[in-house]
Structure 1
Amino acid sequence: MKLLSFIANGRTSFGAVKDNGVVDLGSRMTGCTTLRQLLEAGRVAEAAKLAATTAPDHPLDSITFAPVIPDPGKIICVGLNYRDHVAETGRTVTEKPALFVRFPCSQVGHLQPIMKPKVSDDFDYEGELALVIGKAGRHIPAGRALDHVAGYSCYNEGSIRDWQRHTSQFLAGKTFAESGSFGPWLVPTFLGT
């Protein structure tokens, strides 16, 4: 199953991809108006059953993709997360990863244009794997960490390189409006029974 957030007929919702169309789950699942709410409520199995028995409401090519989670509580990114990238930046591998944040306004949905800011000509793409956390937790043992991952998605983590290099902090080059793309959809890790 593939879950997504979308806009159709001027209305924002979330749904499931089915037969080259979208089943609008947001209009059918009481108490869940966003994909984030569905994940937090632990209702993915219910959504999967509903999608399996419902005809698509919209052709996939008629919707506008929104960021998979348009209303995130936070977006935490891991920088320099593979050896080749560390080497190309001239840095060294460290025991602790470099972390930085992005803001919701810095992302758009799949097939939406990402924007190069006027203040820079050093705009770069970075294909990333996004992990969406669906279950809250704290002080989670490493062996149980993946129990909290609701699913996976694609992320074009656009970087404004000259601004990113202004300081040792990445934040300045990662937060320009509409500079990254999130989607097209979330592939859940577990559907339940």
Structure 2
Amino acid sequence: MPSLVTPVMPTGSLNASPQPTLPVDDDLRLRPWLPYDAAAVTRAFQDRAIQRWHLRTADSEDEAEKWIEQWRRGWETESACHWAIADAGDDTVLGRVSLQSIIMAGGQAEISYWTIPEARGGGVCSRAVARVSAWALGEAGFNRLELGHSAMNAASCRIAEKTGFALEGVRRQALLHADGWHDMHLHSRVGPTARVPSLADPLGQRSPCRWLP
């Protein structure tokens, strides 16, 4: 069945070339994950905050290495893009930033991130998120990025605000955490050529959608 729209990102838009390393500032760079990063990932997932918001822990380096294999395959299959946030000097892994749940036809993805405790408070995460967002909505050709986080995660909300992700609403009781169901904030950024839709449909009727109380 033929589509009535042209894909925003045709097949091969990403994997036709190697995953890029993205410089952030003099002290940071975003690079593809490597097998020897497994030890750093295992240590990171012993942190209670990362466990709480990412809903998992790493029991061994072998398990972390399998995650890294999956992250690397994401670029090959154009289903996800995962970067290590690394110190530009000694290549120490400080965190992770990813574009996941990629929809090539619509040019859409979900951005996620974490940083190790030692890297928090200095803008490492917000700079990494801003850099990936600029690359995605610019050079890579994405149309829309979504950022979701628990309504209880104030730090993640600050990162969204700092990096230009507008709050669109609250997804009520949307994700089960270890301590129960959490409401989720939904933020987004769109590309510079995104069209602002009218409140009326093509027949001139006003949309019936309204914000929930």
* TM-score > 0.5 by shorter chain: no
Q: TM-score range by the shorter chain?
A: under 0.3
Bigger helix share? 2
Bigger RCO of structures 1 and 2 (CA < 8 A, at least 6 apart):
1
TM superposition score normalised by structure 1? 0.25
TM superposition score normalised by structure 2? 0.23
